[in-house]
Structure 1
Amino acid sequence: MRNKILSLLLFFYFVTISHAALEYYVSPDGGDTNPGTFGKPFATIQKARDTIRSLENKPEEIIVYLRAGTYRVSDTIVFSVEDSASSGGRISYQAYKTEVPVITSKKLITQWQKADLSDQNLQSPAKGKVWVAQIDKGVDFKSLYSGGVMLPRARSAGFSPVRSKKGSSDVKSLTVPEDFDLRRWSNYKEVEVLIRPTFAWSMNILPVDDIDIASRQVTTKVGGTYPLEPQPQWSIDAHGISYTCWFENALEFLDEPGEWVLDSDAGKLYLWPLDGEKPDGIEFPQCVEIVRVEGTSREAKPTDQVVTGLEFKGITFTGNDRYTWKDAEPSFQHDWSAVDQANAMLRLRCAGDCVIEDCEFINGATAGVRVDLHAQGNRIEGNRFSYLGEHGIALCGYGPGTKDVSRGNKVLNNRIDHIGRIYWYAFGIYIAQSGENLIANNLIHNVPFVGITLSGCRDFNYQRPRNGEGYRSVRWQDISDQNRKMLQEAYGRHKEMTDFFLSYLHARDNVIQDNEIFAAVETMGDGNAIYLSGAGTGNLIKRNYVHHILSEGIQTALRPDDLQEQTTFTENIVYKCTYGAVEHKHNNDYINNVFACIYPTNIHGREWNNWAYVLFGRGPNTGSRLQRNIFYDTSEDPRFYFCRGNSPMDDSIVDNNIYWCTDNPASAVKQLKELQEAGHDRHSVSADPMFVDIDNGNFMFKPASPAFELGIRPIDTPNIGLQSPWKERLVGRKIINTRIFPSSRYIRPQQSFKVSIRCDDSDAVIRYTTDGSEPSESSQQYFSPLKFEDPVYIRARAFKAGAVDLYGAAEFYALKGGH
């Protein structure tokens, strides 16, 4: 008996030993000649990687603990195929307990001295206030940091390019207006053009190639997305745009504290310090990608060599450089990204079964995380993406073709906010040519453009290589000569070949579920909370809460755009947004959604002629279903549908909906009657849906609601957005709420009105702005009701130690028509 017990104990001992993780330790205070133990840690992550790489037999679990401190890298840390975990195993690079390891590429700049007062390029306001540091000639960077925060580059006054008389197709040349002080600046080869060319949804940063003062022509080394022309007047008016172009990085533009200019040829960095004192703590980035997990892309083969089983947990990534576009990259739609683009702090390129969890991506010049090419089974969960130069998260497969190897990834419970600080076209989550992914319970807010996008390619016109929409991303080697000829003939007849395209579009069968999005499209135009175009079929947009998007540039909250088919939108809530809830195109379905309090104008009262709760934008819509939805309005004259000439409702199935207008029930009755006379909404009703408390975000139904009889399911919001424990970690345990009264409305000329602001925590200090900016602790404090006579857009936020006012509040009071 004793022998049996001893044998059993030995068995469990060896099982435990065999499953025990192999541990290494790394510390900024360690040394790479150390053995990597707790007491004698390595100094660098690269040393830990190389040590593991040299193991003949890797155990199932290896943990590299990163101790607190800052790990400075001059080059990207690269993990290759040989750094993969053993089959079915894990190698985790993670924070030790609750410590905070920080990885950055920033390098301190020292030896500052006052700039020469006689420098003719310095403008009068800057003389005597600018400092200069000598750096190595040829060192080039596009971002600069002070105290960990990005500083703005010196920029010129804004202008709009001169419109060519016949219309231009030139993507590398713009004409500068006569009233702009155009010069051939001393470092003009390092000056960049920042422009929103031709359309409101695009933005480029283009290095200057040459400047011709006589013709006022500026040419660029990299082509823009579209001709470098101004936007149409209707776009300028609708989006409240005052200019579309400016220059950056010339000494002549240096006119405000905090700005900087780099002359890399001369090896000089100029800075006007914010505090007026000698610069201290100024750092420049040494690389774009901080960490890259890189397998081997085999372009011509159906599969790639993939890095597997790596994990990154509890790490802060900060302080990298901006990515600069190359000419004619193989871009996806509208140059929002490109195939295999190295523009993220942490990049998985040909990687599978990897994890990025509980990390922070903050104060960086690119996207936070990008997952490229072959990508399957990766999970990105519980991370914070904030104050970044571009997207929060990007999942990008190969271009349209037969190679479909990006799928089955998960993006869960991430908070994404204040991104797109450099490239304004940034998305909270950007997906192109990647399918079967689960995007759930993310919180996205205060972003310059779209919250979540599923995209790809919309133009297979191979005879238009420069301006074809996404043309350069197409894998033409996968498309036969016969099909190319067929495509060209179809384009010649102005016929779309949607069915043909769909087999090459791989952003299909994604599930976008339980995400919360507010305060989107804060900078760009023609944007949405959730956008799909050229993505592929079978995508499910379910139970997302989109609310409080009051901006100049919002188009509709939900939008399946051109070349988008067979998408289902169900159980979504769209509340307090401007212009419209949905722009509908083609064969897509809308089932059991709530569309409530949609305003017909932007915050300045500019009304879009096509506005409606649901805008039929482009047909055919054969078989599309709009069923069991609730349309709820609080104004006197809502418009539930608008159909453009090429998109009638006749080929759609519209029924079992509820229409209600609190301030004018007769309007809802009238519109339903007209719909029924046109053959729609046979079983729909005009009635109060009886929400429990819509003003406080409770969209559940009271027992007597007519929704139950129509088969409309209630939508419970607590399961939407961040869930525990991530909500407490990424937002805070105590959330306070602020509201502005009354709700947004349209005022009459020369009629005064009062606005009050309340917080549910009476000890909190309320701050507000009236210029559209986000309130801070230095904004004006609210004490008592405010009186106004003119249109105003008010934003408010409460502040209290230990509490977070996540949403703040925003309401607008405008003259309808914007006069």
Structure 2
Amino acid sequence: MPEIRLYVSPDGQDDWPGTSDQPFATPRAARDAVRALTAGMTGDIVVAFTAGVHHLEEPLAFEDTRSDSGKNGFRVIYQANGYGTPGQEDVVLSGGREFTDWATAADGVWTAPIGVLEPRRLSVDGRPASRAARDTGLPGSVTKTSTGYVTDSVEPQSWPAASGLEFVYPGVYPWSEARLTVASISGDDSTTTITMAQPAFDNAKSLYDSKWYGAGGDGTWDGLAAPSVLENNLAFLSEPGTFAVDSSRPGDHVLHYRPRPGEEIGKTTVIAPVLETLVSGKGVHDIVLRGLTFADAAWSGPTRIGGYLHFHGNAHHEQGEFQKIDLGAEVGYVHVPATPAQLPANVTFDSVSRIVLEDNYFTRLGAGGVVIEDSIDVEVRACVFDEISGSGIAIHGSTRVAVEDNLVHHIGTEYRGSPAVLVVESEETTVAHNEIRDVPHNGIVITGGDRAKGTQVIANLVERTMGKLMDGGGIYLSAPQGSSFAGGAMVRGNVIRDVLTSYNFGLYTDYGAAWITVTGNIVHRADTPIVLQVGPPMENVAFVGNFWDVRPDGYDDPPKTVTVAGNTLLPKENFEEAVMADPAGADILARAGRRT
């Protein structure tokens, strides 16, 4: 059957017919043209984007009620022009805005008026710029109060635009990092009072209320005692390639950027993310997105609620009560959000089916990369995710989602508890042949529950995880994953190297993990390859036929419902050579990672 092909070009016009010689100017115009064609489809509809940056003035939203889905067994395909050929064109769908109205201050810092914008990240000639930061915490002797902090240093009183200042707390829980906004700074000639934004500060005190008896003493631990890092103030703008936003005048904000060597006004392109959603799909089916770059999107959540109160994975607190979790008399307790919010993504699909995301590039994003929610039969294949503030790929409550052959690296650049790949209470999800590296906490997280079953975590290459936070691993699973080994989770053929921070596990089955088979994996250079004692205890978990370089604690006396058998301990010094000398180990190494 003949396909219908439409074209979109930055040099086109929306009142043109969308042909190759008279293309549309915007993705929206092409989508609207598709709506008039889907009912009578006798072949695929292909929307081809020609080379260049396609600036999105609004999200590209697909809705089944608006005739955006493929029909009659055919698909609607949005792709780079020449996709799959040597002439495939470079196409960017951008939610950013370029700043051009620059002036230079006496100290060499560039300034530009940006209106109401409060960007948390910038792209400068395609390279990320970071917020100006002080990584030595507050000066002086610091005391936490009911409303913030008091220090015997007067230095903070000289910091301008205090309302835009944000405090960062790495390890507020070992696996969490919180962000809280400053409301005001005041003081006298001997002390400085820092008042934090509310209700975020009070909520943070409730969320991070914990006891850790295993640490000795009375178990008291105050992760909010003092911030470790301070961000977004003109006083910290000393390093090239950093920026700060002065938001002291509402609606008349000013961006300050210290240029890198060689950057020049008029020749250097500075882009801030503006849109919070680039592409969304609601209820649609039979749509393909391939060969596209999704870039320059924002998330205003921390600014809107006064901080980012992270708990675990993508879960954080925005509103509601807190629940106390007792970890046992010898361990302690923590608090969690009773109704946790999930970190959003800049590309979202909800209640969709037969959607394919293939060979796309997700970069310079201020939330997560992609979230798939309450969906069925979705594929995320051969994509690249990097320079993302949150997670790479998140799957929530979905069925038969395939996450395969993707490269995910340098994610969690702002929300450092974010995993590279997250699967929450989903059925028959496959996470296979991905390469994950250089991430701040867990590589792959599989969260169980009543709905979870049949998850396959197969032949992934996971390297340099746990770069910032503790108590995690290369692959992390929690809670029940089904009701039998046959219908539970399978973790097979993965290679996990270099789990970096202290207190970590290569393969981490935690918090009541159940019905999980962990077989034929390789773990090298982690604190310990697996954990056998967790609270609540794991049940019906099998560790069989794995290779590692450290003997796990409790290996000779595992819990009665945990099987540990046939695993191979190899020496650390020549571990790689020893694995390669074993036919089974060599086969695992050869198969792990991307196939494309």
**Relative to structure 1, is the Cα distance of residues 79 and 56 closer, same or farther in structure 2, using a 3 angstrom cutoff?**
closer
Instruction: Give the alignment of 1:779-818 within 5 angstroms.
Output: none
- Does residue 130 of structure 1 match 2:109? yes
Structure with higher Rg: it is 1
**Relative to structure 1, is the Cα distance of residues 25 and 31 closer, same or farther in structure 2, using a 3 angstrom cutoff?**
same
- Does residue 387 of structure 1 match 2:387? yes
Aligned equivalents of 1:432 and 1:100: distance in 2? 33
The partner residue of 1:270 within 250, 256, 261 is 256
What's the counterpart of residue 66 of structure 1? 49
What's the counterpart of residue 368 of structure 2? 367
Instruction: Give the alignment of 1:238-257 within 5 angstroms.
Output: 245-257=228-240
Q: Give the letter aligned to residue 509 of structure 2.
A: P
Aligned equivalents of 1:336 and 1:513: distance in 2? 22
Deviations for 1:381-435, whole angstroms, at most 9, x for unmatched residues? 00111222221111123xxxxxxxx221100000111111111112110112222
- Does residue 719 of structure 1 match 2:575? no
What's the counterpart of residue 286 of structure 1? 274
SS at match of 2:28: helix
Aligned equivalents of 1:262 and 1:565: distance in 2? 48
What's the counterpart of residue 515 of structure 2? 566
The partner residue of 1:625 within 563, 570, 573 is 563
Looking at secondary structure, tell me which structure has more strand per residue.
2
Normalised TM-score (structure 1): 0.60
What's the counterpart of residue 687 of structure 1? none
- Tell me if the contact between 1:194 and 1:203 (Cα under 8 Å) persists in the aligned partners: yes
SS at match of 1:564: strand
What's the counterpart of residue 204 of structure 2? 224
SS at match of 1:557: strand
Aligned equivalents of 1:715 and 1:268: distance in 2? 56
- Tell me if the contact between 2:504 and 2:526 (Cα under 8 Å) persists in the aligned partners: no
- TM-aligned CA deviation for residue 345 of structure 1: 2.8
- Tell me if the contact between 1:230 and 1:244 (Cα under 8 Å) persists in the aligned partners: no
Q: Aligned residues, how many? A: 535
- Tell me if the contact between 1:197 and 1:230 (Cα under 8 Å) persists in the aligned partners: no
SS at match of 2:390: coil
SS at match of 2:513: coil
The partner residue of 1:106 within 96, 108, 132 is 96
Aligned equivalents of 1:570 and 1:277: distance in 2? 52
**Relative to structure 1, is the Cα distance of residues 76 and 533 closer, same or farther in structure 2, using a 3 angstrom cutoff?**
same
SS at match of 1:354: strand
- TM-aligned CA deviation for residue 163 of structure 1: 8.7
Q: Give the letter aligned to residue 205 of structure 1.
A: R
Aligned equivalents of 2:34 and 2:341: distance in 1? 28
Deviations for 1:269-316, whole angstroms, at most 9, x for unmatched residues? 1111112764331121111221111x2xxxxxxxxxx21111100001
Q: Give the letter aligned to residue 592 of structure 2.
A: I
The partner residue of 1:320 within 294, 297, 301 is 297
**Relative to structure 1, is the Cα distance of residues 340 and 49 closer, same or farther in structure 2, using a 3 angstrom cutoff?**
farther
- TM-aligned CA deviation for residue 552 of structure 1: 2.7
- TM-aligned CA deviation for residue 109 of structure 1: 0.9
**Relative to structure 1, is the Cα distance of residues 231 and 67 closer, same or farther in structure 2, using a 3 angstrom cutoff?**
farther
Unpaired runs of 5+ residues, structure 1, are: 1-18, 118-127, 236-241, 296-305, 398-405, 457-501, 599-611, 636-661, 663-692, 702-711, 727-819
Aligned equivalents of 1:530 and 1:616: distance in 2? 19
- TM-aligned CA deviation for residue 201 of structure 1: 0.8
Q: Give the letter aligned to residue 722 of structure 1.
A: R
Normalised TM-score (structure 2): 0.81
The partner residue of 1:416 within 388, 408, 421 is 408
What's the counterpart of residue 546 of structure 2? 594
- Tell me if the contact between 2:312 and 2:417 (Cα under 8 Å) persists in the aligned partners: no
Give the alignment's Cα RMSD to 1 decimal.
3.4
SS at match of 1:269: strand
SS at match of 2:39: coil
What's the counterpart of residue 509 of structure 1? 454
SS at match of 2:163: helix
What's the counterpart of residue 357 of structure 2? 356
**Relative to structure 1, is the Cα distance of residues 187 and 54 closer, same or farther in structure 2, using a 3 angstrom cutoff?**
farther
- TM-aligned CA deviation for residue 354 of structure 1: 0.4
Deviations for 1:630-686, whole angstroms, at most 9, x for unmatched residues? 122357xxxxxxxxxxxxxxxxxxxxxxxxxx9xxxxxxxxxxxxxxxxxxxxxxxx
Aligned equivalents of 1:699 and 1:333: distance in 2? 42
**Relative to structure 1, is the Cα distance of residues 699 and 552 closer, same or farther in structure 2, using a 3 angstrom cutoff?**
same
Deviations for 1:186-235, whole angstroms, at most 9, x for unmatched residues? 43222222222532210122233344646734323434386569998969
- Tell me if the contact between 2:520 and 2:547 (Cα under 8 Å) persists in the aligned partners: no
Instruction: Give the alignment of 1:694-733 within 5 angstroms.
Output: 694-695=576-577, 697-698=579-580, 700-701=582-583, 715-723=587-595, 726=596
- TM-aligned CA deviation for residue 451 of structure 1: 0.7
Aligned equivalents of 1:540 and 1:565: distance in 2? 11
Instruction: Give the alignment of 1:359-758 within 5 angstroms.
Output: 359-372=360-373, 374-397=374-397, 406-455=398-447, 502-503=449-450, 506-534=451-479, 536-537=481-482, 538-549=488-499, 551-553=500-502, 555-585=504-534, 586-598=538-550, 612-615=551-554, 621-634=559-572, 694-695=576-577, 697-698=579-580, 700-701=582-583, 715-723=587-595, 726=596
- TM-aligned CA deviation for residue 77 of structure 1: 1.7
**Relative to structure 1, is the Cα distance of residues 183 and 80 closer, same or farther in structure 2, using a 3 angstrom cutoff?**
farther
Deviations for 1:674-733, whole angstroms, at most 9, x for unmatched residues? xxxxxxxxxxxxxxxxxxx842752534xxxxxxxxxx998543222111xx1xxxxxxx
Please say which of residues 411-420 and 49-58 is displaced more in the overlay. Answer: 49-58
- Tell me if the contact between 2:122 and 2:129 (Cα under 8 Å) persists in the aligned partners: yes
- TM-aligned CA deviation for residue 58 of structure 1: 3.8
- TM-aligned CA deviation for residue 584 of structure 1: 4.6
**Relative to structure 1, is the Cα distance of residues 312 and 515 closer, same or farther in structure 2, using a 3 angstrom cutoff?**
same
Deviations for 1:538-566, whole angstroms, at most 9, x for unmatched residues? 111111111233x2335110111112212
Aligned equivalents of 1:287 and 1:215: distance in 2? 38
- TM-aligned CA deviation for residue 329 of structure 1: 11
Aligned equivalents of 1:225 and 1:452: distance in 2? 29
